[in-house]
Amino acid sequence: MATSRRVKGIAFDMYGTLVDVGAVAEACKEIASDPIAFNAHWRAKQLEYTLLRSLMGTYQDFWRVSEPALAFTIRRFGLQVSSEHRRRLMETWLHPKPYPEVAAALSRLKERYALAVLSNSSPKMLRAGLQHTALTPCFRWVISVDAIRLYKPSPSVYQLAVTKMKLRKEEMLFVSSNSFDVVGAKSFGFKVCWINRTGAPLDRLGVKPDLLVRSFDELAAAIPNARLLTVPGANHYTILFALNPHPLVEVQRFLSD
């Protein structure tokens, strides 16, 4: 028999989800002839270093991981970059831009749900980024992996959100635009919404999100009337039932993919 539980809390990834990391690509224009490729490489290296450091048990915070990832990328692209330019590039992480619809959608969601940020980023970067975007008041918790010195997608990180928010796993929705984070959170046991703005393919790791939307507007429209409905045996998918027809169509299309 199906069981359903109301969503009580929502935890959000930060970079690429709440705020636009494309803004970092803008800054890369000053040093690289292909700033998009440069930025993508830097971002991939940053992620790789978080994974490697988690596996090696040699945690350093996200700022300290990002600097050597930048140095590697500069070398990889054969560039000469002054320390002043490097500093400016790093500082773009402290001044991100929120996606345009995020603030209004969070204000709506905040009325009904306890909201948190759960990020691989360091406390200093999170404080600066949330202040810069004026999103700080939207969140009851800002949770950095720094507390446990491990990075997402380690299950310990998702458990940290459960512990801090004092909710059951089943009462939470996790929202991310990053495919690795979507599959990590889903595999931990969260209900997961993937905000896929670009139509990116999902990593093939055997799990899929419960809800697929293209923006925070679609998320905010979908969930106020939603119940999380767990249907045993239905390919282990949990379908987020929404009155708004549009995301539901997307979910059905996605689940049958």
Least distance from ligand LAC to the Cβ atom of residue 39, Å: 14
**Binding marks (x or -) toward ligand LAC, 139..168, rule CB under 6 A?**
-------------x----------------
Query: C-beta of 7: minimal distance to ligand LAC in Å?
Result: 21
When binding is defined by CB under 6 A, the residue of 7, 14, 102, 150 that contacts ligand LAC is 14
In the chain the beta strands, taken as DSSP E runs, fall at 3-5, 9-12, 19-20, 97-98, 114-119, 141-144, 172-176, 191-195, 211-213, 227-230, 238-241
Q: Which residue number places its CB atom closest to ligand LAC?
A: 14
Contact between 128 and 144 (Cβ < 8 Å) = no
Interface with ligand LAC, residue 54, by CB under 6 A: no
Q: Does residue 119 bind ligand LAC (CB under 6 A)?
A: yes
Find the binder of ligand LAC among 39, 121, 154, 230 (CB under 6 A): 121
CB of 118 to ligand LAC, least distance (A): 7
Q: Please choose, out of 24-32, 81-89, 119-127, 221-229, the segment that lies near ligand LAC by the rule CB under 6 A.
A: 119-127
How many residues bind ligand LAC, per CB under 6 A?
8
CB 38 within 8 A of CB 31: yes
178 counts as binding ligand LAC under rule CB under 6 A: yes
Q: How far is the CB of 176 from ligand LAC (least distance, A)?
A: 8
Strands (E), 73-187: 97-98, 114-119, 141-144, 172-176
Q: Does position 13 bind ligand LAC by CB under 6 A? A: yes
Coil, helix or strand at residue 103:
helix
DSSP SS3 for 172: strand
Which 55-84 positions form the footprint of ligand LAC (CB under 6 A)?
A: none
Tokens of 216: 């925070």
| Of 62, 1, 5, residue with least CA distance to 190 | 5
Residue 203 annotated among the catalytic residues of the structure: no
Q: Is 198 exposed, middle or buried (0-12, 13-18, 19+ CB in 10 A)?
A: exposed
Q: Identify the CA nearest to 185 among candidates 164, 168, 209.
A: 209
Binding footprint of ligand LAC on the chain (CB under 6 A): 13-15, 119-121, 152, 178
Known catalytic residues? Answer: 13
